[in-house]
Amino acid sequence: MDAPQLTRWTRFAAKGGIGRGTALRDCVAEGPDDLMFMQGDEIVFLMSVAGEHGRFLGYCEGVVGSFWGTDVQLHGKL
C-alpha cells in the first residue's frame, strides 16, 4: 500500500470506517497485507475485501491490513 492510500484509509478510520469491533483472539500477520492484533484490541472495519467472503480491510494501532471477520466481535452492523 502506498503512502497516499494509507493516509486516506487512516483518515477514514478516524471517522469510524464502516464499523468497529473488538479482537476475540490474537492474530499474527502471515503475509505483508495482513493486519496483526491482540485480543481486546479495537479494530476499525474499513471495507469488505472483494472476492473473499468474510475478509475485511481494517485498521488497528496505526496499521491497515486485512483480517477475517470471525476473529473480531463487531459492535453493531456494517
Query: Does 78 score more than 90 pLDDT?
Result: no
Strand partners, 44: 20, 59
**What CATH architecture does domain 3-74 belong to?**
Roll (2.30)
CB 57 within 8 A of CB 49: yes
- Domain residue limits, the chain: 3-74
pLDDT band for 77, please (50, 70, 90 cuts).
confident
pLDDT given at position 17? 97
Q: What is the pTM of this model?
A: 0.93
| Identity at 41, one-letter amino acid code | D
State the Cα–Cα distance between residues 10 and 46, nearest whole angstrom: 9
- Sorted by sequence, the CB contacts under 8 Å of residue 4 that are 6+ apart come out as none
- Sorted by sequence, the CB contacts under 8 Å of residue 2 that are 6+ apart come out as none
pLDDT band for 15, please (50, 70, 90 cuts).
very high
pLDDT given at position 22? 98
